[in-house]
Structure 1
Amino acid sequence: MDDIASLPPVTKKSALPVLTPTPKDWLFLAFVVLLGGSSFSGIRIAVETAPPAVVGAGRLWVAAIFLTIYMFATGRRFPPLIEQGRPSPAWAFALAIAATGYSVPMFLFPFAQQSVSSLLAGIYMAFMPLVTVVLAALFADEPLTRNKILGTLLGLTGVMALILPAFPADGLNASVIAQLALIIATTGYAISSVMMRRAPQVAARSFGAMVLVCAAILLTPFAIHTYLQSEASVSGASMAAIFYLGVLPTGLSTICIIHMIRSAGASFLAVANYVTPGAAIIFGILLFNEVLTGWHVLGLATILCGVFVAQPGPVLSLIQRLKSPRSDRNLTP
């Protein structure tokens, strides 16, 4: 929900109908890309005085409250916790997705950004669709084709281009550990996207609110513990950044995504995987004077080439629909 890349990739089995993007859809896409790219800058400001777990939990609670209010205001409700004397499968899936795709990444990204730049964190998000390809082959009965294998190998080569220059001669350092944390975080997003395909049918805005509430609850005890241990004094700038992260890149972005899928389809939305890392790079350079190295460019370009080789569908479908538009808007969030 937070980052566009956390959505399931478009495949023959999981794809929603490809619809014709309107000017409003393009505006939503630009908005989602900007919000997603800016989230890494927001994290950088937040971790200046707030512990990573506090950043994650605070962001999740703000987003959960925001989306829950939106859900009730638009006539949706939470499904019951107990169905026919048993725990609701929808809530069970929401809890599992919250743990893997929200609580863990929302902690690991701030943790990593204590040691690496925001633009590098944004670049690592580009690798997430390739992790999803492998996990979908293992757990979602989606064949690992030759193109998917080649694309994944290209993506891994790109990751090596990012992480190897950080390795010192005498072993691990903070930068390497941070980048390994980013890989784990993107893997968590990928795991949650595969689980999302098997989740019971629940209105998108309701399920999004369910996941955010569960994730916030899961991360809160750890956040309280680390806050008390660190005796941190959270600045006003950090609190403002946490609030921004919760309302805009997490909460409002989710609402835009819901409406965009309904209007233009998941293929159109998946194109943002190619653009969001670029937005993170621009924000990092403009706001913090972060340095974009040749290794960063090489790594990102190689990863994106891998994503296209493994999953050309989103880009090719968009090009085809722009040339031959049709209207088919029967999806409901």
Structure 2
Amino acid sequence: MPNPGARNWAKLVLLGMIWGASFMFVSVALNGFAPISVAAARISIGALTLYIMIRALGVSLPDWSAPQGRAIWAAAAAMGLFSNALPFTLLSWGQTYVASGFAGVCMAVVPLFVLPLAHFFVPSEHMTLRRGISFLIGFSGVIVLIGLDAFQSIGSDYEALARVACLGAALCYAIGAIVTRLCPATNMLSLSAAAMLCAAVMIVPVALWQEGVPARPDTLSLAAILYLGLLPTALAQILLVQVIRDAGPSFLSMVNYQVPVWSVLFGALLLNEVLPPQLLISLALILGGLLLSRKRVRALV
């Protein structure tokens, strides 16, 4: 693999910080918005931003009438559902009951979900002994992360269910990554904009139906929503495309190791969150599994 260079290393660190901080900003946004509204607002801002960007660059949305046009739009719709609408909603709801650091650690599970999915759906990504061992190590971290109480009756306490929701979001991201890899070749910025527009079409009506038009939020919550829409939803996509083109997807996969670390740091230092004692143990196991499989695990896209 070619040397990625200092510029791509800087972009990788920046991506980790942007995505890691997003969980803290979701917690702040939830003070003024309901969970589905948070997801709908950030997706709408991201979709509008990406659409304006591709038009400014002279790039059009995928052509439906092209030979692979329908397949590309089908992939874009699946990406919109599994990479945006559904996981953003699960994370927003989950963070009403768990710390932002916990939600961030769950993102380290994404490549571990990718391993078995890729084995069955991507011909060039069969499970190997090394990947299998890394999966088992990481999966043990998942068990520690959610705790045995996640499988017990929760009654009025939604914390255990919220943990499962955060892990469900990680599974959604993994499915979205597989769909992205199987999508026919097309302009990546065009595909990203199409996926985000599909996500907006899916989530906005649901948010209005379930939660109505949001009341006027406080300034801090509104600022958090703007951050979520502009940086981790739109700007990060631009950086992601640049890193993939310059250094390849294997290099980009290392961002998954950074996200939980940044999310825990931001949540603990800026939100004064009290994290469960098993968090560091699970983080060590998950990152250990990821590092073992680093050579071939693809990144969240």
TM-score by shorter chain over 0.5: yes
Aligned to 2:84: 102
How far the C-alpha of 1:102 sits from its partner, in A, is 1.1
Of 106, 109, 112, which aligns to 1:124? 106
1:174 maps to 2:151:
no
Distance change (3 Å), C-alpha of 1:199 and 1:167: closer
Q: How does 1:83-102 map to 2 (within 5 A)?
A: 83=66, 88-102=70-84
Q: Between 124-133 and 145-154, report the one with greater CA deviation.
A: 145-154
CA shift, 1:283, in A, is: 0.5
| TM-score when normalising by structure 2 | 0.91
**Structure 2 CA distance for aligned equivalents of residues 305 and 48 of structure 1:** 35
Counting only pairs closer than 5 Å after superposition, residues 44-63 of structure 1 correspond to structure 2 as 44-63=27-46
CA distance in 1, matches of 2:152, 2:4: 50
Range moving further from structure 2, 143-152 or 192-201: 143-152
- Of 188, 203, 225, which residue of structure 2 is paired with 1:204? 188
CA displacement, residues 61-109 of structure 1 (integer Å, 9 cap, x when unaligned): 111111112212222111223347x962211110111112211001110
Q: Which residue of 1 aligns with 2:219?
A: 236
Whether contact under 8 Å (1:151, 1:305) holds in the other structure is yes
> Quick one: structure 1 residues 303 and 110, their matched pair in 2 at CA, closer, same or farther if it must change by over 3 Å?
same
Which residue number corresponds to residue 133 of structure 1?
115
Between the aligned partners of 1:148 and 1:20, the Cα distance in structure 2 is 24
1:256 to 220, 234, 239: 239
| Mapped partners of 1:163, 1:213: distance in 2 | 33
- Go from structure 1 to structure 2 and tell me whether the alpha carbon gap of 1:88 and 1:162 turns closer, same or farther (over 3 Å shift): same
C-alpha separation between the residues in 2 aligned to 1:143 and 1:169?
Answer: 34
Question: Alpha-carbon deviation of 1:287?
Answer: 1.0
Matches within 5 A, 1:1-333: 18-83=1-66, 88-141=70-123, 142-164=125-147, 167=150, 171=154, 173-228=157-212, 234-309=217-292, 311-313=293-295
Q: CA deviation at 1:291?
A: 2.3
- Structure 1 residue 138 displacement after superposition: 2.0
**Is contact 1:25-1:263 (8 Å) kept?**
yes
Q: Secondary structure at the match of 1:244?
A: helix
Tell me: CA distance 1:297–1:248, structure 2 relative to 1, closer, same or farther (3 Å). same
Higher mean C-alpha deviation, range 232-241 or range 171-180: 232-241
Pairwise CA distance, 1:135: 0.7
CA contact (8 A) 2:150 2:164 kept: no
Runs of 4+ in 1 over 6 A off after TM superposition: none
- Helix, strand or coil at the partner of 1:313: coil
- Contact (CA 8 Å) 2:33, 2:214: kept in 1 or not? no
- Structure 1 vs Structure 2: percent identity of aligned residues? 32
The structure-2 alpha-carbon separation of the partners of 1:257 and 1:87, relative to structure 1 and needing over 3 Å to count, comes to closer
Contact 2:37/2:214 (<8 A) preserved: no
Q: Contact 2:36/2:89 (CA < 8 Å) preserved in 1?
A: yes
Cα separation, 2, equivalents of 1:23 and 1:176: 42
Aligned residues: 295
Q: Aligned partner of 2:282: which letter?
A: G
CA–CA separation in structure 1 for the residues paired with 2:84 and 2:214? 25
Asked whether the 8 Å contact 1:19–1:263 carries over to 2, the reply is: no
CA contact (8 A) 2:23 2:103 kept: yes
Say if 1:280 and 1:224 are closer, same or farther in 2 by CA, change over 3 A: same
1:171–1:44: structure 2 CA closer, same or farther, 3 Å change rule?
closer
In 2, distance between residues paired with 1:98 and 1:27?
Answer: 28
- Gaps in structure 1 of 5+ consecutive residues: 1-17, 316-333
Aligned-residue offset at 1:293: 3.9
Relative to 1, partners in 2 of residues 1:82 and 1:117: Cα closer, same or farther, differing over 3 Å? Answer: same
Q: CA RMSD, aligned part only?
A: 2.1
How far apart, in 2, do the equivalents of 1:169 and 1:222 lie? Answer: 30
User: Is the partner of 1:143 in helix, strand or coil?
Assistant: coil
CA contact (8 A) 2:138 2:290 kept: yes
**Consecutive unaligned residues in structure 2, runs of 5 or more:** none
- State the alpha-carbon separation in 2 of the partners of residues 111 and 256 from structure 1: 27
